[in-house]
Amino acid sequence: MRLLAFLFEFFKIGLFTYGGGLAMIPILRDIAVNKEWLSESHFTDLIAISQSTPGPIAINMATYIGYREFSFLGAILASLTIIAPAFVLAIILGKFLSKFNRHPFVQAAFVGLKATIIGLIATSVVQVALVSLYGNKPGRLGRPWVGLDFKAVAFMLVFYFFIRKYQKHPLIYITIGGIASLFIW
């Protein structure tokens, strides 16, 4: 029963998230942190792990959480469940899909959906900032200046500059960041 309830969350994510891995992060974070599958900082570590291992980010996250909650069975079932809704839709809609997508109503809904996703991704940025830019205690929304680690802010700005400038694969920045971190902290 607990496994079914667990999988239902992944089914919902697979059915309602639009825009791939990045859009899935805020939704998965909301569920994972509220259900206490992972802490806020552990979830941020999971984003890093998922971006630097092979395969789709969403599958990597589902596998990781599934394994932690229900071992091997959880890893496999969480991943299968997250792809199931769209898989069924792909088969049913199949040939109609491109026609369906061109429909003005669908196009209009996508405009609203995309704007909403931007807001959700912004929440991820804030949540990750609260765990990454502060020392041992996470930052608080109401008082963002309390406990802010200026070394971390500088580190962030340097990386952001290089990410914008070179647009290399995330794995490269994550690796360099991990090694540099050992010397700084």
- What are phi and psi for residue 78, nearest 5 degrees? -65, -40
Q: What angle do CA 148, 153, 154 make, to 5 degrees?
A: 140
Tell whether residue 16 is a contact of another protein (CB under 8 A). yes
Cα distance between residue 138 and residue 40, in whole Å: 9
For residue 50, the minimal CB distance to another protein (Å) is 7
For residue 7, the minimal CB distance to another protein (Å) is 14
Cα distance between residue 107 and residue 57, in whole Å: 26
Residue closest to 46 by CA, chosen among 120, 135, 119, 128: 128
Site for another protein in 45-74 (CB under 8 A): 45, 47-60, 63-64, 67-68, 72
Determine which residue in the list 17, 32, 37, 38 makes contact with another protein, applying CB under 8 A.
17
Determine which residue in the list 7, 37, 38, 173 makes contact with another protein, applying CB under 8 A.
173
Site for another protein in 72-131 (CB under 8 A): 72, 75-76, 79-80, 82-83, 85-87, 89-91, 93-94, 97-98, 101, 104-105, 107-129, 131
Tell whether residue 22 is a contact of another protein (CB under 8 A). yes
Tell whether residue 160 is a contact of another protein (CB under 8 A). yes
For residue 2, the minimal CB distance to another protein (Å) is 19
Is residue 103 classed as helix, strand or coil in its secondary structure?
A: coil
Residue closest to 24 by CA, chosen among 2, 53, 47, 48: 47
Determine which residue in the list 132, 144, 147, 148 makes contact with another protein, applying CB under 8 A.
132
- What are phi and psi for residue 165, nearest 5 degrees? -70, -45
Residue closest to 185 by CA, chosen among 118, 127, 133: 133
For residue 40, the minimal CB distance to another protein (Å) is 10
